[in-house]
Amino acid sequence: MTNSPNSISRRTLLSTGALAAAATLLPTESHAETPLTPPSADAALPVRLGIASYTFRNFDSIHLVDWVRQLKTPYLNLKDMHLPMKPLDQVAAKAAEYRAAGFTLTAAGNITFDKDDDDDIRPKFEYLKAAGIPIAVCAPTHQNLPRLEKFVKEYDIKLAIHNHGPEDKNFPSPFDVLAAVKNLDQRIGLCMDLGHSLRAGADVVAAIHAAGPRLYDIHIKDLADSKAKESQVAVGEGVMPVREVFHALMETKYKGNVDLEYEIHADDPFPGVVESFAYMRGVLAGMGYK
């Protein structure tokens, strides 16, 4: 760990006080009942940092809203435990509550499409339509992509296929996604999970360039060992080439979000989330963006 590029840059960030700023994000008292609009932080930055709500999967929406406010980002990729698919007639109202609190709902998911069946697929598109969410981060199969393309055209909702690493029998690598969608509607593209991509042996920087306009979302996590799923750490403590990733996103004029998906310490995720956001903002500051 001490010899990784990110460890070296972490020491630089500490010397400039970038990580010390994280202390201002640590919770001192609950703001869950305070009707404050979260600031549109990072709006002027070339990389938009958001949060995948799966990070807070063991907590309810009140905690989610409280913590994301403290992170000073309005960008939410909602998992269904924070925006349930059923009953459908309550989805729009629940999504409106998030927006009224000042949040931008950038995507929903991960949504599983494991059946090649209209009756399974349509309710999920109706859910996205009711929520007014433009992108479904999803896990389809190779077999049902043609059927999903039909729904994409009907609903005008983008699909961002999430690669899940070596265990994923359909799309382990971002390059597997790109190969599968190249002849499909342009609204079917990629949500690149950077951690899973490393474990699949992919060059994440090359994958960003290869995806180009087909890259609709990014989930960022870091690993101490690029091959070991259980080695996840806070962003900046592992081997993820964060600066190079951000530079590639700027070069390709990426318009989507970089959503932190912090999967460890599920019962106490916030300290690692704070550290990860501080590190990523520190990297951007070191690149000349504040």
- Has residue 28 been placed in a domain? no
The tens digit of pLDDT for each residue in 200-254 reads 999 999 999 999 999 999 999 999 999 999 999 999 999 999 999 999 999 999 9
pTM of the model: 0.86
Instruction: Identify the CA nearest to 289 among candidates 47, 70, 24.
Output: 47
Q: Look at residue 66 and tell me whether its pLDDT is greater than 50.
A: yes
The pLDDT-based confidence of 28 (bands split at 50, 70, 90) is: very low
List alpha helices for 171-213, DSSP H: 174-181, 194-199, 204-211
CATH label of the domain that carries residue 192:
3.20.20.150
The tens digit of pLDDT for each residue in 101-137 reads 999 999 999 999 999 999 999 999 999 999 999 999 9
Domain that holds residue 216: 5-23+37-286
- Has residue 275 been placed in a domain? yes
* Distances 43 to 26, 40, 78, 266 between C-alpha atoms, Å: 22, 6, 20, 29
The pLDDT-based confidence of 43 (bands split at 50, 70, 90) is: low
- Has residue 122 been placed in a domain? yes
The tens digit of pLDDT for each residue in 70-80 reads 999 999 999 99
- Has residue 32 been placed in a domain? no
- Has residue 29 been placed in a domain? no
Q: Look at residue 23 and tell me whether its pLDDT is greater than 90.
A: no
The tens digit of pLDDT for each residue in 175-192 reads 999 999 999 999 999 999
* Distances 112 to 103, 115, 137, 215 between C-alpha atoms, Å: 24, 9, 9, 19
The tally of domains found in the chain comes to: 1
The pLDDT-based confidence of 34 (bands split at 50, 70, 90) is: very low
